[in-house]
């Protein structure tokens, strides 16, 4: 099979790497790809991944048998609609299904209609109404830009003043059109974790839970980021909570079949808060998480080509998932200054040495190759260093051992990824 993956980050590297391992994968293209994918796939420069007609033209001229859409923007732009209508299987929901991520209002209304547990909220395009709701409810409270904001449109405000400032920032254009409507919601308490599920024809095949670390610095300090590290599975999740999360994902998948015009075919990402009243939904995303994918897919023993093709063709009964009985930990190496302004073009060394360690895989995110043939930084989140082990502690120690082998000017990373899992549930209090 000839396969096209759309995207350029660590998530897409992890997806492409897993696809490339399948004997069914003959030619693998990634558009646009990054500096780490050229060794096993063909990077396609110049293809606009958000232009459905351009993607379709590439699909038809290169004999592509399966398209896998990594990021949310092409999904919201309707790329899957265009390609699927022309007859090529696509792993990724259509534009309507992608609104679960593209509009937080759409998502919250979907949850409420279908009895899915979530926080109380107000969605409004009226700035004064948002401020009044904050004054009524008090703090802590959560303010979200309604549209896509690259994972940075959420503020967990600890004070009323901070919440008002977040609303003001949205309406002043900090997130472009994404902030023209805001969602202000109850601040749930408890540990966060996520669950991904392959969804097709109203059925959900759940993956192991994972836990992301959103804040930039140790101790969950600093600004929110796209994610600074993750691990899977999550030892603090009880069997009862796990069963609830799986049921919520299954109920959501069934609701997509009932409500949406077309079959939802792709990944559904459930972001959960483990509250004292049980797991509640923070959000749904319409694609694999980043960096959660980098700890979930390495544990998948099933052939990912088989799984994705069954999803894309609406054959959920043909899906079979087998998982390695191992722990996985990933640590994000970022550019100095991320998630704010950062420099690019810093030479990276030590990746090959880290990648050569047994049970370690380095996934590239913001990397490129310069004119001198050197691997250099080209983004805020540069590399995802993933390690697997028989125990959680073994995987964690191996991941940081590999991180120490990699160097570039301004390298920054959290040193506490997963410590809360070791300390236990009380460390979230």
From 314, 19, 300, 285, select the one nearest 154 (Cα to Cα): 285
CA distances from 394 to 388, 413, 414 (A): 8, 19, 18
Q: Which CATH code fits 2-92?
A: 3.40.50.20
What pLDDT, on the 0 to 100 scale, is given for residue 265?
98
Question: How many residues are present in the chain?
Answer: 429
What pLDDT, on the 0 to 100 scale, is given for residue 429?
52
CB-CB contact of 59 with 88 (8 Å): yes
Residue with tokens 């459930």: 270
What pLDDT, on the 0 to 100 scale, is given for residue 320?
94
> Facing residues of 231 across strands?
211, 329
> Facing residues of 215 across strands?
224
Q: Which CATH architecture best describes the domain 126-180?
A: 2-Layer Sandwich (3.30)
Q: Which CATH code fits 192-318?
A: 3.30.470.20
Torsions phi, psi for 189 (to 5 deg): -120, 150
Cα–Cα distance between 363 and 369 in angstroms, integer? 15
Domain with CATH 3.40.50.20 in the chain: 2-92
Cα–Cα distance between 84 and 65 in angstroms, integer? 11
What pLDDT, on the 0 to 100 scale, is given for residue 427?
67
DSSP 145-198: ESS--TT--EEEESSHHHHHHHHHHHHTTTTGGGGSSEEEEE---S-EEEEEEE
Cα–Cα distance between 266 and 98 in angstroms, integer? 10
What pLDDT, on the 0 to 100 scale, is given for residue 223?
87
User: Which run of H or of E encompasses 206?
Assistant: strand 203-206
Query: Which CATH fold topology does 327-428 show?
Result: 3.90.600
What pLDDT, on the 0 to 100 scale, is given for residue 147?
92
What pLDDT, on the 0 to 100 scale, is given for residue 80?
98
User: Which run of H or of E encompasses 27?
Assistant: strand 27-32
Task: Provide the 3-class DSSP secondary structure of residue 14.
Answer: helix
CB-CB contact of 186 with 219 (8 Å): no
| Dihedral angle over CA of 182, 292, 312, 80, nearest 10 | 40
Domain with CATH 3.30.1490.20 in the chain: 126-180
Regions of the chain where pLDDT drops below 70: 151, 427-429
Domain with CATH 3.30.470.20 in the chain: 192-318
Domain with CATH 3.90.600.10 in the chain: 327-428
Indicate if the alpha-carbon torsion angle 72, 295, 359, 308 is positive or negative. Answer: negative
CB-CB contact of 362 with 386 (8 Å): yes
Helical H segments across 5-117, by residue range:
10-20, 52-61, 72-76, 79-85, 95-102, 104-113
What pLDDT, on the 0 to 100 scale, is given for residue 420?
81
């Amino acid at each position: 099979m000839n396969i096209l993956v759309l995207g350029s980050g660590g998530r897409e590297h992890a997806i492409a790497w897993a696809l490339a391992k399948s004997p069914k994968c003959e030619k693998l293209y990634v558009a646009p790809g990054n500096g780490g994918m050229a060794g096993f796939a063909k990077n396609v420069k110049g293809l606009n991944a958000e232009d459905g007609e351009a993607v379709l033209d590439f699909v038809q001229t290169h004999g592509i048998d399966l398209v896998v859409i990594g990021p949310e923007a092409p999904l919201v732009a309707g790329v899957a609609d265009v390609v699927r209508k022309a007859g090529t299987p696509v792993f990724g929901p259509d534009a309507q299904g992608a609104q679960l991520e593209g509009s937080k209002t759409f998502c919250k209304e979907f949850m409420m209609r279908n009895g899915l547990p979530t926080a109380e909220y107000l969605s409004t395009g009226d700035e004064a109404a948002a401020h009044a709701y904050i004054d009524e409810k008090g703090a802590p409270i959560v303010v979200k830009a309604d549209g896509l904001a690259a994972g940075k449109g959420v503020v967990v405000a600890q004070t009323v003043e901070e919440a008002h400032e977040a609303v003001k920032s949205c309406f002043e254009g900090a997130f472009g059109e994404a902030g023209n409507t805001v969602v202000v919601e109850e601040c749930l308490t408890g540990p966060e974790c996520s669950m991904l599920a392959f969804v097709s024809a109203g059925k959900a095949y759940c993956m192991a839970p994972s836990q992301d670390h959103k804040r930039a610095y140790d101790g969950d300090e600093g600004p929110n980021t796209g994610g600074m590290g993750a691990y899977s599975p999550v030892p603090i999740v009880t069997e009862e909570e796990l069963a609830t999360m799986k049921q919520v994902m299954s109920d959501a998948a069934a609701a997509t079949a009932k409500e949406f015009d077309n079959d939802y075919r792709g990944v559904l990402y459930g972001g959960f808060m483990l509250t004292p009243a049980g797991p509640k939904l923070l959000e749904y995303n319409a694609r694999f998480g980043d960096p959660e994918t980098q700890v979930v897919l390495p544990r998948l023993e099933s052939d990912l080509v088989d799984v994705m093709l069954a999803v894309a063709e609406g054959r959920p009964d043909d899906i079979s998932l087998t998982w390695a009985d191992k722990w996985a930990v990933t640590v994000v190496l970022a550019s100095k200054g991320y998630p704010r302004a950062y420099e690019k073009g810093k030479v990276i060394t030590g990746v090959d040495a880290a990648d050569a360690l047994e049970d370690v895989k380095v996934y590239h995110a913001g990397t490129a190759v310069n004119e001198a043939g050197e691997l250099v930084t080209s983004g805020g989140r540069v590399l995802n260093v993933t390690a697997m082990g028989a125990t959680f502690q073994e995987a964690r120690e191996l991941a940081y051992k590999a991180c120490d082998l990699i160097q570039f000017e301004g390298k920054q990373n959290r040193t506490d990824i997963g410590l809360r899992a070791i300390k236990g549930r009380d460390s979230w209090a």
